[in-house]
A and B are shown apart, each in its own frame.
Chain A
Amino acid sequence: MTTEAATIGLTHGASEDTGLGHRGPESKSIVVPYGFWLFVLSDMVLFSALFATYASLAHATDGGPTSNELFDRTLVAIETMALLLSSFTCGLAMIVAKRGNMVWTLGWLLVTGLLGFVFLSIEIYEFASMAAEGAGPQRSAFLSSFFTLVGCHGAHVTAGLLWIGTMMAQVWTKGFKDHIMRRLLCLSVFWHALDIIWVAIFTIVYLIGTLP
């Protein structure tokens, strides 16, 4: 019985591979970013459902304002610049953090947060002026899906801003310990992922939505 099981691979001898690798599980510095990467990818799947909804409803304006009448490309260009630059400074913060430079890490994180705040302020201004014109989320299916998609991204940016503030406080009080560095790495992955989603939003919603 035992020999039969061994031939078809049900048991293994002492010297054989257990499937866990010869060194056992990977270290936390590998496992934690991998797990967070899986979360980010699942977040992208969530956004893909919102994008699909928006694409299906983009022309269901119910006689109300259309995307061509509502969107302002200049504002979107400024938002795009702010988010792209904040992604860049977030990377710079990680570079100096790996070398244990407190002042520059806090500085670049602050710049990242301020650029994110500029982005969020413009978005809130845009939402408020649309709602004031009577183009709120309850106006048409197109606007419901627009506010859901872009608002969900804005909510992520808000969470990212809170996280940046938290990490600045933790770096300041606890220094560059291993677990703080892991959290910083997760934060940078999250922030870069938000910029990737924004690329899809400004292309599909704003640029394609305002084609002549």
Chain B
Amino acid sequence: MTPDENNLIDVAPGLPHSNVLSETLAYVIGLVLALILTGVSFWVASTSVLWGPGVAVGLVVLAIAQMGIHLVFFLHITSGPDNTNNVLALAFGVLIVFLVMIGTIVIMTQMDANMAPDPALMNLQMQH
């Protein structure tokens, strides 16, 4: 009997059959990666080395990467067969989130540009 089979026999069905260390290691890796991404985000935001207009986009990319790290290492969203329903629900949630956010920002920016009030009217409103 191989050591692996021994491991499986030692635990009752449904209980975790990996050991404490390997489970903890996943959280440690997740924490380290999240710390690195957070550090890079704060550095990118305060340095003047990078091209200014690109910084905001870079920050959003870093944030999305960190959310991915959280999902995989902390929430254990994986591509395994018992996780299919969770992944499908997540995909639908992400779709709605992006539709709401990007749709709102595009429409509101367009309206802001096309329907800006008369500057004279703005001054009246500011003076009351």
Contacts and interface: CB of A to CB of B under 8 A. Distances in A.
Contact of A88 (B15, B31, B108, B126): B31
B56 A208 contact: yes
A210 B70 contact: no
Contacts of A95: 20, 23-24, 27
Nearest to B91: A41
Nearest to A206: B45
Given A29-B14, A45-B96, A99-B20, A203 B74 contact: no
Interface residues of B, number: 47
Contacts of B46: 73
Contacts of A130: none
A212 B23 contact: no
Interface string B27-69: 1001100110010011001101000100110011011001100
Nearest to B57: A208
Interface in B66-99: 66-67, 70-71, 74-75, 82, 85-86, 89-90, 92-93, 96-97
**B14, B27, B35 pick with most chain A CB within 10 angstroms:** B27
Contact of B70 (A38, A63, A87, A99): A87
B105 interface: yes
B24 A92 contact: yes
Interface residues of A, number: 47
A189 B75 contact: yes
A192 B45 contact: no
20 contacts: A34-B85, A37-B86, A44-B93, A44-B97, A45-B93, A49-B100, A49-B104, A62-B126, A73-B45, A84-B31, A85-B31, A92-B24, A193-B75, A195-B74, A196-B70, A199-B70, A202-B41, A207-B59, A211-B52, A212-B48
Interface of B: 14-16, 20, 23-24, 27, 30-31, 34-35, 38, 41-42, 45-46, 48, 52, 55-56, 59-60, 62-63, 66-67, 70-71, 74-75, 82, 85-86, 89-90, 92-93, 96-97, 100-101, 103-105, 108-109, 126
Interface of A: 29-30, 34, 37-38, 41-42, 44-45, 48-49, 51-53, 55-56, 62-63, 73, 77, 80-81, 84-85, 87-88, 91-92, 95-96, 98-99, 189, 192-193, 195-196, 199-200, 202-204, 207-208, 210-212
